[in-house]
Structure 1
Amino acid sequence: MVNGGRRLPPTPAEAEAVEQVRKQVDRLCWTGILLGLAFTMTNVQSFAANGAVAWSLPWLAAWLLDPMVSLVLLAILRAEQVTARYGIRTRGWVRGAKWFTLAATYVMNTWEAYAAGSADMVVLHSVPPLVVFVAAEAVTDLRDKLSEAVRAAFTSAGATGPDTDSERASEPARDRSPEGKRRTSFDEYLSRAREAWNPDVTVTPAWIREVTGCSRGLSSRLAASLSAEVSGDEQ
């Protein structure tokens, strides 16, 4: 939002929109990776079966090769997401294993096309593994940067967002005693959120409301406070 040429801090609603984008990007990238690996499965099976009779033991065993490689690749990618988030560098074996599994998938998927000398089949069977390769390199960095954007947006929105009387009036009855006084303090809600937080969680107002049961108006400030603590711990 811009006012008189000066960009205003994001509102809680805008900050939640950033979180939704992060979730969508993460899901779309992983969906693309899974679809790409699924596409390669039949070609890898055909390569491994090497003309074996359908439903024979060698033919059935050939179906195990692609999932074996793909599961190792997915495990490495998931681990890299967590380590990259905390700035922890993995050793050469980890990156080597990722590149090897990607290269193995590509070679097994395109071998028959190269052997047949069919340029169009080479292109067709090259695209899915290459998309997986590019997405595998991008997904970790994308998720890390978008998580930083989410934390920055919620911290800014929570730090500058007004705690108006209308917000207080809209807080559900569970936050107030029968006499109109709050039964649960800000610090108590924050303590609950701390206990529920773990390194795989991105702190958002929606998550705060889920784990603490606080009101919508209070959740943005709680998210901002916890995000600031978590960012400080990571640094």
Structure 2
Amino acid sequence: MTPRRVVPLLLAAFLLIGTAGQAQAAGYRYWSFWDRDGGTWVYATQGPSMARPSDGDLQGFRFAVSENSGDAAQPRGTADFASICAKTPAEDGTKRVALVLDFGTAPDAPSGETPPAPRTACAQVSPDATTADALAAVAGPLRYNTNALLCAIAGYPKSGCGEQVSQEQETRDTPSASAQKNASDDGGPSLGLIAGISVIAALAAAGAWQARRRRNATR
């Protein structure tokens, strides 16, 4: 094997290692907060503890793994304020806020937990109540972290709060993915790194063998 052929293959091996490392990054597991604007969900610009909805507003929450607000999963379903609050008559000195609570899918759930079925609720609260107040009235217990990030609605999930999730963790159901995750957790090298090193070692051995053959042939 000549040096001209070895160099491109070595570069390919290094690219394999780099790609394997990049593929592990995925996103964060958290509750996203949404406002309903007509027939469209819009990512909320304020947190639930700061937002003060008006009477007749529809807001939603979705638990999922997302990289950022641009790719965050929206609440599912087509419920509107009228249908959600149909059985909650208006009262003086209060406001009604319709809430859509989407606990997400099994692949997005923390290990060992099963997401509850999506549901809706109509919160009847004081006129100055925040979305967090409305949520606490109909979907407790809530859980927050020290930075006031909403971690759990109706007790789900039981633990964790906005933790980073790799693609290996997202596909943990498969034995091979579980093995990769365990190796990563133990501080061992990833499979991509091992494969890349193996390729480099094989190429180096082949080059040395070819060099010995050429030296023996010229003797």
Q: Give the alignment's TM-score, normalised by structure 2.
A: 0.28
Greater strand share, structure number: 2
Greater helix share, structure number: 1
Which structure would you say has the larger Rg?
A: 2
Q: Give the alignment's TM-score, normalised by structure 1.
A: 0.27
